[in-house]
Amino acid sequence: MSDLHSNTVAFVAGSQIPPSPPPAKDRGAVKWLRENMFSSVANGILTVIAALVIITAVPAILQWAFIDAVWSAGSLSECREIAAANGVEGAFACWAVINERFNQFLFGFYPNELLWRPVLAFVLMFVAMAPVLFRSLPKPMLWFSAAYPFLAYFLIWGGLGLEPVESSKIGGFLLALIIGVTGIVASLPFGVLLALGRKSDLFFIKTICVVFIEFIRGVPLITLLFVASSVLNYFFPPGTALDLILRVVIMATLFSSAYMAEVIRGGLAALPQGQYEAADSLGLDYWKSMRLIILPQALKISIPGIVNTFIGLFKDTTLVSVIGLLDPVGMITPIRADSNWNGLVWEFYVFVALFFFAFCFCMSRYSMYLEKKLKTDNH
Amino acid sequence: MKLNNLIGAAAAAVALSAGASAAATLDDVKAKGFLSCGVATGVAGFEFTDANGEWAGFDVAVCRAVAAAVFGDPKAVKFTPTTAKTRFTALASGEIDMLSRVTTWTFSRDVDLKFEFAGVNYYDGQGFLVPSALGVTSAKELDGATVCIQTGTTTELNLADYFRVNGMSYEPVPVETNAEAQQKYLAGACDVYTTDSSALAASRSTFETPKDHIILPEIISKEPLGPVVRHGDSEWGDVVRWSLNVLMIAEELGVTKDNVAEMAKGTDNPEINRMLGSEGEYGAMLGLPADFAVHVISAEGNYGEIFAKYLGTDTAVGLERGLNALWTQGGLQYSPPFR
């Protein structure tokens, strides 16, 4: 400070005033509430209604699912006795049934002493998926990914020295994963080929692809499943028909391939014509231009649609319960028919729903990660 | 019970034109080493899976009896769960060798769908379940009631007939499965739940207070349930029919799971001796071992023992024998003699 001001200014601040906090209504929880919950009268009313719903529902659900729940018992009546002894009034969850039938929900009737095989196949599935999902991993791991489908088949069904397990023993989430994962993995390449075929200049290929896609898309999945379970049998002599699970996997793959083809065709159509011309002008042949220029961009655009189809297919696997396959949803019926557990409903469906949610949520998170990673534009 | 004539008829037509219905099922079964038996995906008391993942139940016991007759091993069965929609095509196409799945014997299934019912293992009938608080004691008092009913079943048609004949009206509440029906009924969405009375009893036994619900005395339909095989292979039909008959004759003659081994050595009763193979060559006539009946009875006991194990008053399902008592005890179960 110089002397210059000493006579001209009555007071000079010796130090900076500490910044005062923003007004109460513009900070902390109050600000957040004002901005997010009560930004207008209509929003305020909605917030109050939502809060009331949550306040009434959540404690009741927690009470049902955790506080009053019975975790181990031999039957529903035992559950009720335990709950009554604990002084529980009204509804409560009897998780004991999930506890007792956990293996049936996971593996169907897979022999107990061989359970390590599907578990190992499940763990190896992540090893096989890793190099495909995350590019940073070493390339040679892809060889393992390519071999994985055969390895998984060998582990689950046995043969070549491993004790064979027949398909009727396979059920539960194991079955849902077999159908879902195979359909997902196989439908992408098929979908790409069909999409390219549909845009092809070759009349014959184009016609086949269009007819296939339009036929499969025009038919409900459940119809295809009935065809797989019933009609196909008539074309084979009794006893030699393909395994029912295999037939269903083929149908599910065909179904999702057709949808996948249309999703990818959308991506191809979204690319500017200039990209195609640029590839041609570089002198690349058809396959090279597709592989190096067109598809990487088209697939990137299609990611949300592709993952959408994946999730849809995975959830559609529950439809196989209609043809008598015991997927997690189908498994509920024979377990309920056991007089020990007849009368329970919600516990089964909540458990199955949680499982499907976990898988579908992971898929959707991965797709968001991928979109972010592949984002090359400047927006 | 559930009916899907259209699908079944189409399936049967295709089966005939394709010539898929194979003769000599018994030889095929012996060759592959196990019996393929179609069961339901789950009906209380009749078919369910136990904690070990094994199929069990009243219908399952028939499958096991047939497997025991053919192989001497009640475990030599591969169970194929079928739904009401897939059961007939599965049988017609040869995917399963027999169907033992709460299937009602009707004219059209027997004649039009080209199947053969190998007997009746349970005489059922459609009944009504109501809360006792409703104050109703007869189905004739149900005018104007809301009724939970499974869609696409013969029970739906029976209900419509019954109310029309008695000049009453009702409001249907369609449900898809027994589980859904129980929920709706308990939540008060309908006054009455109607389906086969065995299923009603099984449902009621699971309620928290079964005493607050009554099954009305009226039974409005005949539902004879039994094992089914394909037309055109009478030898195989005989194997299934006589495996079932053996269970009933065994009860009639007092042959049980525990004493069958003893009796197989020979008794004073010639019919028991013929059945258990110590006299005559009756097994060979079926293409089975002479002592096939011994295996059938050792599997899960005679008809009465199986009934008591899965459906009887000591079980949670808690059904009286009723129509299913032997003819000697006022019921309908009557097997032709083993002669």
pLDDT digit string (tens) for B90-101? Answer: 898 888 999 999
Q: Looking at beta carbons, which residues of chain B come within 8 Å of A226?
A: 85-86
| pLDDT band, residue B16 (cuts 50/70/90) | very low
Q: Looking at beta carbons, which residues of chain B come within 8 Å of A335?
A: 42, 48-49
Most confidently predicted of B80-84, B202-206, B308-312: B308-312
Minimum Cα–Cα distance from A100: chain B residue: B51
What mean pLDDT comes out for the span B289-295? 94
**pLDDT at site B239:** 95
φ/ψ of B187, rounded to 5, equals -80, 0
The rounded distance, in Å, linking the Cα atoms of B247 and B306 is 9
Q: Tell whether B90 lies on the interface with A, counting CB pairs under 8 A.
A: yes
**pLDDT at site B21:** 44
* Domain shared by B130 and B165, yes or no: yes
Q: Which of A81, A79, A59, A61 is nearest to A70 (CA)?
A: A79
Residue with tokens 């939540």: B187
Identify whether B337 is part of a domain: no
- CB distance A345–B182 less than 8 Å? yes
Instruction: Choose the weakest-confidence range: A8-17, B4-13, B97-106.
Output: B4-13
* Domain shared by B58 and B81, yes or no: yes
Domain range list for chain A: 32-86, 102-110+165-374
**pLDDT at site B152:** 66
> Does the pLDDT value for residue B186 go beyond 50?
yes
- CB distance B78–A238 less than 8 Å? no
Quick one: tokens of A20?
């005062």
**pLDDT at site A4:** 57
Quick one: tokens of A178?
């077999």
Q: Which of B85, B95, B317 sits opposite A241 (nearest CB)?
A: B95
Q: Looking at beta carbons, which residues of chain A come within 8 Å of B46?
A: 337
> Cβ(B226)–Cβ(B117) under 8 Å?
yes
* Domain shared by B216 and B294, yes or no: no
**Residue A162 forms beta bridges with which residues?**
A159
**pLDDT at site B22:** 47
- CB distance B316–A340 less than 8 Å? yes
| pLDDT band, residue B336 (cuts 50/70/90) | very high
Q: Tell whether B129 lies on the interface with A, counting CB pairs under 8 A.
A: no
> Cβ(B108)–Cβ(B93) under 8 Å?
no
The rounded distance, in Å, linking the Cα atoms of B241 and B180 is 35
Q: Tell whether B179 lies on the interface with A, counting CB pairs under 8 A.
A: yes
What mean pLDDT comes out for the span B86-92? 88
* Domain shared by B55 and B105, yes or no: yes
**Residue B213 forms beta bridges with which residues?**
B131
DSSP secondary structure string for all residues of B243-284? HHHHHHHHHHHT--TTTHHHHTT--S-HHHHHHHTSSS-HHH
What mean pLDDT comes out for the span B110-133? 93
Quick one: tokens of A202?
């070759």
Angle between helices A295-316 and A172-198 (to 10 degrees): 140
Q: Tell whether B177 lies on the interface with A, counting CB pairs under 8 A.
A: yes
* Domain shared by B42 and B93, yes or no: yes
Minimum Cα–Cα distance from B36: chain A residue: A239
* Domain shared by B72 and B154, yes or no: no
| pLDDT band, residue B1 (cuts 50/70/90) | very low
pTM: 0.83
Identify whether B75 is part of a domain: yes
> Cβ(B194)–Cβ(B173) under 8 Å?
no
* Domain shared by B38 and B119, yes or no: yes
> Does the pLDDT value for residue B303 go beyond 90?
yes
- CATH code for the domain of B245: 3.40.190.10
Q: Which residues of chain A have a pLDDT value below 70?
A: 1-9, 237-241, 376-379
Handedness of CA B297, B299, B301, B307 (dihedral sign): negative
* Domain shared by B250 and B113, yes or no: yes
Identify whether B100 is part of a domain: yes
* Domain shared by B260 and B131, yes or no: no
Identify whether B128 is part of a domain: yes
* Domain shared by B32 and B161, yes or no: no
| pLDDT band, residue B2 (cuts 50/70/90) | very low
Instruction: Choose the weakest-confidence range: B76-80, B201-205, B243-247, B333-337.
Output: B201-205
Identify whether B306 is part of a domain: yes
End-to-end CA distance of chain A, in Å? 48
Amino acid at the residue B80? T
**pLDDT at site B20:** 42
> Does the pLDDT value for residue B3 go beyond 70?
no
Final residue before a domain boundary, out of B172, B207, B222: B222
Instruction: Choose the weakest-confidence range: A102-106, B200-204, B234-238.
Output: B200-204
What is the domain extent for residue B143?
124-222
Quick one: tokens of B173?
């509440």
* Domain shared by B113 and B132, yes or no: no
In 10 A of CB A166, how many CB atoms? 12
Q: Looking at beta carbons, which residues of chain B come within 8 Å of A104?
A: 49, 53
Q: Which of B48, B80, B207 sits opposite A343 (nearest CB)?
A: B207
Q: Number of folded domains in chain B? A: 2
* Domain shared by B87 and B229, yes or no: yes
Alpha helix stretches (DSSP H) within chain B = 5-18, 25-32, 58-71, 87-92, 107, 154-165, 178-186, 197-206, 234-253, 260-263, 270-276, 282-286, 292-300, 303-310
What does DSSP say about strands B35-40 and B77-82: parallel, antiparallel, or unpaired?
A: parallel
The rounded distance, in Å, linking the Cα atoms of A217 and A256 is 9
This model of the complex carries an ipTM of 0.81
Third-level CATH fold of A102-110+165-374: MetI-like fold (1.10.3720)
- Summarize pLDDT for B270-287 with one digit per residue, the tens: 999 999 999 888 999 999
Mean residue pLDDT of chain B comes to: 88
